[in-house]
Amino acid sequence: MHSFHYQNGSLHCEEVDLNQVADVHGTPAYVYSANTIRDHYRRLDQAMAGVNHGIEYAVKANSNLSVLKLLVEEGSGFDIVSGGELRRVIEAGGDAGKCTFAGVGKTREEIEYALQQGIYCFNAESEEEVAFINQVAGEMGVKAPVAFRVNPNVDAKTHKYISTGKSENKFGVDFVGIEAAYDRAASLPHVTLKGLQMHIGSQLTSLQPFVEAVEKVTPLALSLKSAYGIEFFSIGGGVGIVYDPALESGKPEWWAAQEEEHKPLTIEQYVAGVLPTLEKTGLKILVEPGRYIVGNAGVMLTRCLYEKKGSAKTFRIVDAGMNDLIRPALYQGHHDIVPLNEPRDAAMTQVDVVGPICETGDFFCQNADLPDFSPGEAIALMSAGAYGFVMASNYNSRGLPVEILVDGSDAKVVRPRQSLDDILASEKAVL
Ligand code: LLP
């Protein structure tokens, strides 16, 4: 589902006019569609209805408290990677008992906090970590629920910075030898072996790597079930979304509103591809989607400040920079650029859309044919709901953008724009 469309000449999110949002709340601004998030969650839940399953939304993709609350209301569990994310889930009314805790570098404070709150399971990424969790749990007089993350050594065929399931990646415990790791962990007095987890990478747009990983690891899950009575197998997240509908479809249109037509891997195809193997295990199957749930549910609005015609190129300079949305700079990520005022004709101009940051990498597109928009007009960077605001920074002493949640005709500020006073509040000039 995609809740962004033109109405009366202006881009809308659900029933809310984004030009009005930009006028009232300023730019840059992140806008999320509550109904898209609900729809994505429900579609996945529905597709998995045939097996005992749990959805552990990957909080890192978008951790706004209102987004989390919305997912709490849908019944979601949460995959967290820090004490901070656990705190967010609890603040949003979520149940720690439905949280899995991932990450290669959990600290003592985080482990203690997670044990105090009673999380469902630590997904441990090394034997050293399990030994430390055992020690901390022993000191607290409790038993810690633990699963190992297995690294299945499968090529996810995605950008190298978001590929996690190969032996050369830092994640998980090598597939070869993991049973011995379970054997050793079984002798630790303060841990309970609860499950098995894997996650091969993010933004996967084909089914094959998922199927390959599931087929490779399911026999291990079965063997751990009979040896240690584990109760769950988490297959991680990673389902990709369409960032560039025009490219996917091979059509010349600069933007296609119908996401469904161009989706390379639907959630139903994903589930249908992996479930037949998984259901034979009789284990509870967990999934940890992030981008699939929120990616296409959000946009970032930014206003064009200047058009600068250089000798080689035309630059449209906007008021958002790489500090607000870093995906293009970090992963060569593509976000479709859509003017908020519906273009009156099919005319295109080749431009670079760039931000105000003092870095050459601060661009949202280069040599792209875009419909016309002028200084003063606002544009939307599409599919910015995942790994957008959460990766924003104060680089160049710029305040973090405002976040707005749209639900039908209602638009609420769910995090105000960060002021310069906010940025400077805790800092002192001491010399
Ligand atoms: N589970 C684990 C253990 C993960 O590490 C991740 C993402 C997920 C689940 C959720 O993956 P998803 O369903 O969102 O693909 N910042 C990058 C993406 C980093 C993904 C990190 N791990 C980007 O903007 O593309």
Looking at residue 263, its pLDDT comes to 53
Task: Please check whether residue 218 lies inside any domain of the structure.
Answer: yes
In angstroms, what CA-CA distances link 197 with 10, 208, 224, 257, 368? Answer: 45, 19, 12, 36, 41
Phi, psi dihedral angles at 388 (to 5 degrees):
-105, -90
Number of H helices, E strands in the chain: 14, 21
Let me know if residue 5 belongs to a domain: no
Same domain as 318, residue 262: no
pLDDT band at 260 (very low <50, low <70, confident <90, very high): very low
Q: Is 25 helix (H, G, I), strand (E, B) or coil?
A: helix
pLDDT at 155: 84
Predicted confidence band of residue 247 (pLDDT cuts 50, 70, 90) = very low
Give the range of the structural domain holding residue 174, as residue numbers without chain letter. 34-291
Task: Indicate which CATH number applies to the domain containing 170.
Answer: 3.20.20.10
Q: Which two tokens stand for residue 31?
A: 């806008």
Query: Where a domain ends, among 255, 276, 291?
Result: 291
The pTM of this model reads: 0.95
**Residue 50, token pair as written in the block:** 């045939």
How large is the average pLDDT for residues 16-22? Answer: 98
What Rg, from alpha-carbon coordinates, does the chain have? 23
For ligand 1, the distance from its centroid to the CA atom of residue 60, given in whole angstroms, is 7
58 and 121 together in one domain: yes
| 337, 264: one domain | no
Told to judge if 99 belongs to the known catalytic residues of this protein, a careful annotator would answer no
Give tens-digit pLDDT for 122-156. 999 999 999 999 999 999 999 999 999 999 988 87
Q: Are residues 350 and 325 in the same domain?
A: yes
What is the rounded average pLDDT for all residues in the chain?
A: 93
Once rounded to an integer, what is the mean pLDDT over residues 254-277? 74
> What's the residue count for the chain?
431
Q: How far apart are CA 258 and CA 251, in angstroms?
A: 13
Percent of the chain with pLDDT over 70: 95
Per-position b or e across 86-125, b if 16+ CB within 10 A of its CB = bebbbebebbbebbbbbbeebeeebbebbbebebbbbbbb
Count of structural domains within the chain: 2
- State in Å: Cα 90 to ligand 1 middle: 21
One of 13, 99, 304, 358 is an active-site residue; which one?
358
Q: What is the dihedral of CA 16, 19, 25, 28, to 10 degrees?
A: 110
pLDDT band for 175, please (50, 70, 90 cuts): very high
Please give the ipTM for the structure prediction: 0.99
Residue 277 Cα to ligand 1 middle (Å) = 23
- Classify residue 360 by burial, with Cβ atoms within 10 Å: 0-12, 13-18, 19+: exposed
pLDDT, tens digit, for every residue of 367-377? 999 999 999 99
Domain boundary, last residue among 225, 259, 291: 291
Q: Which tens digits make up the pLDDT trace of 36-75?
A: 999 999 999 999 999 999 999 999 999 999 999 999 999 9
Tens digit of each residue's pLDDT (9 = 90 or more) over 62-121: 999 999 999 999 999 999 999 999 999 999 999 999 999 999 999 999 999 999 999 999
What is the β-pairing status of strands 232-234 and 173-174? unpaired
Residues 317 and 235 in one domain: no
Q: For residue 15, give Cα distances in angstroms to 342, 382, 410.
A: 16, 17, 8
* 222-234 average pLDDT score: 98
Q: Closest ligand 1 atom to the C-alpha of 61? A: 14
End-of-domain residue from the set 264, 291, 318: 291
Residues having CB closer than 6 A to ligand 1 are 58, 61, 79, 102, 162, 199, 202-203, 236-239, 288-292, 327, 331, 386-387
CATH number at residue 393: 2.40.37.10
Q: Identify the band that residue 169 occupies on the pLDDT scale cut at 50, 70 and 90.
A: confident
The ligand 1 atom nearest the CA atom of 201: 15
User: Which residues fall in the annotated binding site for pyridoxal 5'-phosphate?
Assistant: 238, 288-291, 387
Residue list for the binding site for substrate: 291, 327, 331, 359, 387
Tell whether 269 is covered by a domain.
yes
In this predicted model, what pLDDT tens digit does every residue of 342-368 receive, in sequence order? 998 889 999 999 999 999 999 999 999
Q: In whole angstroms, how far apart are CA 395 and each of 106, 321, 325, 389?
A: 26, 9, 12, 13
User: Is the residue at 25 inside a domain?
Assistant: no
Ligand 1 centroid–CA 162 distance in Å is 7
Contact 187, 241 (CB under 8 A): no
Report the nearest-CA residue for atom 8 of ligand 1. 237
